[in-house]
Amino acid sequence: MSGRPISGASVGAGTRGRKGFTALILGALLLTATACGGGGKPGAGAGDGRGQDSGNAGSKQSQAVVTIAPKNGAEAVDTAGVLKVTAAKGKLTEVRVEDAKGRAVAGTMSGSGTTWTPSTHLAAATTYKVHAVAKDSAGLTSAEESSFTTLTPKNTFVGIYRPDDGTTVGVGMPFSIRFTRGITHPADVRKAITIKTEPAVEVRGHWFGNDRLDFRPEHYWKAGTKVTVNLDLDGVEGRPGVYGKQSRTVRFTIGRSQVSTVDAKTHKMVVTRDGKVVKTLPATTGKPGYDTWNGQMVISERLDVTRMNGETVGYGGEYDIKDVPHAQRLTDSGTFIHGNYWGGDAFGNYNASHGCVGLRDVRGGYDKSVPAAWFYGNSMIGDVVVVKHSHDRTVAPDNGLNGWNMPWDEWIK
C-alpha cells in the first residue's frame, strides 16, 4: 500500500508534464503562425507585404474622365450638333458609335485627342449606342457607355432624281435632284450627297434656286464612266423643322459619246459618235420670230408619239398636232427634236418650226429609214444636241438639263 501513493504521484506528475509539453509546442506553433501572418518585421519572410502593395496598384482608378453628350437615355435628340464625346485628365483612345443594326458612325478626333464628334449627321428616329475609352498619363484606362434616340420629324422632304438607278445614259447627262421642299440649309444637304466615279473625275454640284441641285464634271463625261451616288439625306435638316427621310444609292453608266450639232444656217444636223461623224441629216429649226435656242441641250425625255399643242407653250391655238412621232425633249419650256411629216420641203432648205428641231418623218412613224426614225433609234437619254447660228439667245442652264451652258468657274461658285 505504501508504494501506491508514490506510484500514483509519479503517474500524476507524468501526466502534467506531458500536458505542459504539449501546451509549449502549441504555443510555439501559434507564435510561428502569427509571425507568418505578418506579425513580424516588415519585409521578413514570404509575407513581406509585396503582394498587398501589388493589390493596391491594381485597384487604382484612372484619372481620365469620359463624358458623352447627350446623356444616357436621352430622346428626341437632334440629328446634328449634339453628339460629342470628351475626355478630361486623359485622351480618348476609342470611340464607337453604332445604330441598332450595327452600322458605325464615322467621326473625327481633335488634335489633342480630347474630343470626338461625328463627321456626318445622324439618322432620324434611330437609337444609337456609344462606347468610349480614355487613358490617363499613367496609362490607366476608363470607359463610358451611353444610349440615346434621335428625333422623329413631323415634316420631311425627299429628292426626286434622274437618271434612274441602273440606267445607261449619254455623256451630257447630269445627276439632277429636285427636292420636295425648298432648301434653306443648302450646305448641309450638299454635304449629304457624295458622288464617286470610275475612272475618277471631279464632279461638282450647282444649285438652281432652292429646290434643284445638279451635279456634273467640267466637261462631258467620258464614255464608259461608272457613277455611284449616295443620297444620305435621312436626318438632314433641309430647312427649319424639315428633315430628309431618304437614304439611297444610285448607280448609272455613261454609254457611248454622241453629240449632234444642228446648224440653223445650213439646215443640217451632223451626228458625231465617239469622235467620228456617222450621219448628216437635213433639218429645220425655228422660223423668224420663233427661233430655236442656241447652245448645248441634253435629251431628257423620249416619246414614240406625243401631242403638241401651242397653248401649252404660249402660242395660243397656232397648232395642235396629236400624233407627233419620234419626239425627244431638249428643254423644259417645250423644245423638242422630233419627227415632222407636215413640213414639206423645209428639211435642209429653210426654217419652218415654232422653235423645235424638225427631222423628216412619216405620219405614224412606221418608216424606219427616214431621218427622224434613224435619229430616234440611235439616241438615248443624256445625248447632247448643240444648236448654233440661230437668231435666238443661248438656252438658260436650268431650262432642262442644260447646265453645260454655264462656265465651269461660275458652276463651282
pLDDT digits (tens, 9 = 90+) for 40-87: 333 333 333 333 443 444 568 999 999 999 999 999 999 999 999 999
Q: Is the dihedral of CA 395, 398, 399, 404 positive or negative?
A: positive
80 and 198, same domain (yes or no): no
Residue 197 has pLDDT above 50, yes or no: yes
- CATH of residue 240: 2.60.40.3710
230 and 319, same domain (yes or no): no
- Alpha-carbon gap, residue 213 to 36, rounded angstroms: 83
Contact 392, 402 (CB under 8 A): no
Last residue within a domain, chosen from 202, 236, 254: 254
- For residue 164, give the C-alpha cell: 434612274
273 and 404, same domain (yes or no): yes
Last residue within a domain, chosen from 149, 170, 198: 149
Domain around 99? 65-149
Q: What domain count does the chain have?
A: 3
- Quick one: average pLDDT of 200-229? 98
- Quick one: average pLDDT of 89-107? 97
Is 12 inside any structural domain?
no
Per-residue three-class SS string for 108-132: EECCCCCEEEECCCCCCCCEEEEEE
Residues known to be catalytic:
338, 356
322 and 400, same domain (yes or no): yes
Is 24 inside any structural domain?
no
Describe the strand order of the beta sheet including 155-157 as a list of residue ranges: 155-157, 242-244, 237-239
Maximum distance among all alpha carbons in the chain?
A: 170
- For residue 358, give the C-alpha cell: 424638225
Tell me the pTM.
Answer: 0.82
Q: What percent of the chain lies above the pLDDT cut of 90? A: 82
CB neighbourhood size of 234 (10 A) = 23
88 and 131, same domain (yes or no): yes
Last residue within a domain, chosen from 134, 149, 164: 149
Instruction: Report helix, strand or coil for 222.
Output: coil
284 and 352, same domain (yes or no): yes
- Alpha-carbon gap, residue 41 to 47, rounded angstroms: 10
